[in-house]
Amino acid sequence: MKVTALAALLVTATALAQTPPSGAPGAPLAAPATSPNPPAAQPGVPAGGKYVTDAEMQKQIDAQVEAAKKELREEMRAQAATVAATSAGGTWEAEAAAHRKLDLVELHGYFRVRPELLQAFDLNQPPDAYGTGYWLFPRPNGTANGAVLGGGHSVAGTNMRFQLDPTINVSEEVRIRAQINALDNVVWGSTPQYAYIQQNRVDIGILNETAVPPIPGVNSTQSNIAVTRVWGEVATPVGLLKFGRMGDQFGMGIVHNDGNCLDCNYGVTVDRFEFVAEPLPGFLVIPMLDFNVEGLVGGSTNTQGQPYDVTNTDDSHTFGIVLARKDSDLRARAKIDAGGTVVNYGFYFQYRSQTYEYVQNGSTTSFFVQDPYVVPSPSLSRIPRFAYLFIPDLWFKFENKSFRIELEMAAYLGKAQACQSYYGTTNNQCNFNQQLTIAQYGGALQTEYRLLDGALKIGLEVGAASGDSAPGFGDKPNRPSKQNIPNTTGAQWGDYDGAQYGRRPCRPGTQQPICIDNDIRNFRFNQDYRIDLILWKDIIGGVTDAAYIRLPVSYAINDSFSVFGNFIYSRMIKATSTPSGTSTQLGIELDAGVKYQSDDGFYAQLAYGVLFPFDALRYGYLTFSPGAGIAQAIRAQLGIRF
């Protein structure tokens, strides 16, 4: 052990340092120059017979001690790396190894810039609600009657984000982690100095010279700097305790996706108590408690002090547990490189409930402050939900050097009371006689073959999300309908999107009779689970009420350059959810691009996509509806990781 060697070296060095120098009292006398037999070498005396000075001796001792210390430090770091490589890792399992490198502050994150050009994402379709409502995608200079005044169908721009993930290592067992976003997805040129604020030096916009930071409510809808997550981690003898606001990641990420990828925009963030136990190597047991909704909060926004939860009856909490067999990334890579096989799997189960809901904190655009000493007014629209939800999520992965197969399946199952207010009535005039049924199912299967020593990867992915027969895709359930039909709620026939439950005419083109829809059955993939560049990413906004087949291929030219391509075929589950109302065939998308990454953190990507829409994306509720046009996209990324 190097510690023993270092101790022995220090003892020897101490003895040498105590040897008296030449000429000092008690020092050995030098042999006479005429002596025929010079004395043998002694401590402090080289073979040549000359004594070493104090300074030279001390220099040699210091050099040997420093070399031993350096060797010891390197061994300790190697041991720490070994422990980290053989312990569970990831964002949702035991991240903290038994010992860590004791840097007080570790800084990680990335800076990205994303130029893009989007062409004809509205697919040349009219607004919904029979030509009076929403565009399929934001259309430049469009008007309600479908006319386009300049600008055409192209949208071009550049956005940026700086994400900082700092870690404060208080000790080997205790640390604080955070995620901070600055200029988060700010569009270049969107906060010029002359606009929205008092500026006396700019006559007209073209003379503007500088940009100013985003200020919520002044020149932007979001803050310049946002602290999105802060949580603590404490390594105990029996597991890892985590508490705070943190990301939620599991499996492939179709439900629980922390959004930490370089091109992500959203991410699931939870307020959570979590404990990660590893009773057997690689086997994890993770109980957790999430605070999803607290409802009315008491306190003033302009004074200091602790705010309070006004009532517990409107709270929504989640009790969850993860049971999994999971290798860390380092351990999995080591197994695969050695010719072994990685078999991982897990089950994530959550139960969530809520008795009442105050719509002011869920359906309005501003935060409502309630005096905790005053009984909440009936005008606050307390809705009796009596809701519960079960969320099972199953994940499996098999991987070796030449092949990978990965599967995730999940569901949302539950009940809730519906507040189905009639058109033209106030929020607190609801009919609670109907109970909503929530039954949503989804899953994805990925396979990947690796050829040419892993340089060439050919894959196959299939995915499906259950559908709902209500009109609209169902990816924007809070969108109100633009159709003023009496006694109706939710999405109406002819809407591109909207709530998947409610009251609507039983048949398109009529106003009577009214049918009641009391179920929500369309499963929605997490928005950061990306499979394409156009259709699901932006036009619809996320995989829902659909099935798709994806054929990805990539080739690594060298360690820095790679090229990739995707073929995606998509179709809806329910024809009534499409703009056509009659067809399920959405279209085919082809994507291709090139990536570059360097060892010092710089990365770049350029991709092109084209969508060939089919009949399901042609608006079918007008006498004249043009055929859906081809959509194209050029997307680039420049970034630095650290």
Task: Report domain extents, the chain.
Answer: 2-22+44-85
457 pairs with which residues across the strands?
450, 554
Output the pLDDT for position 14.
Answer: 43
| Coil/strand/helix, residue 10 | helix
* DSSP structural state of residue 627: P
| Coil/strand/helix, residue 518 | coil
CA distance 471 to 482: 13
Contact 587, 578 (CB under 8 A): no
| Residues 6 or more apart whose Cβ sits within 8 Å of residue 307 | 297, 298, 299
Task: Report the mean per-residue pLDDT for the chain.
Answer: 83
Supply 491's token pair.
């999405």
Where the chain has pLDDT below 50, the residues are 1-50, 80-100, 144, 146-150, 422-428
Supply 23's token pair.
């000429």
Task: Print the SS3 string covering 221-271.
Answer: CCCCEEEEEEEEEEEECCEEEEEEEEECCCCCCCCCCCCCCCCCCCCCEEE
- 74 torsion bin: left (phi>0), alpha (psi -120 to 50), beta (else): alpha
* DSSP structural state of residue 538: I
First to last CA, the chain: 35
Supply 177's token pair.
């982690």
> How does strand 369-370 pair with strand 297-298?
parallel
Q: pLDDT tens digits, residue range 187-198? A: 998 888 887 776
Contact 96, 238 (CB under 8 A): no
CA distance 537 to 539: 7
CA distance 591 to 53: 75
Output the pLDDT for position 202.
Answer: 77
Output the pLDDT for position 10.
Answer: 40
Q: How far is CA 560 from the centre of its chain?
A: 25
Q: What is the CA radius of gyration of the chain?
A: 33
Say which amino acid occupies 26.
G
Contact 481, 495 (CB under 8 A): yes
pTM: predicted TM-score of the whole model, two decimal places: 0.79
CA distance 186 to 603: 20
Say which amino acid occupies 451.
L
In 10 A of CB 521, how many CB atoms? Answer: 21
Output the pLDDT for position 81.
Answer: 46
Output the pLDDT for position 357.
Answer: 84
Q: How far is CA 477 from the centre of its chain?
A: 22
In 10 A of CB 446, how many CB atoms? Answer: 18
Contact 595, 621 (CB under 8 A): no
CA distance 51 to 166: 55
Contact 68, 9 (CB under 8 A): yes
CA distance 243 to 17: 53
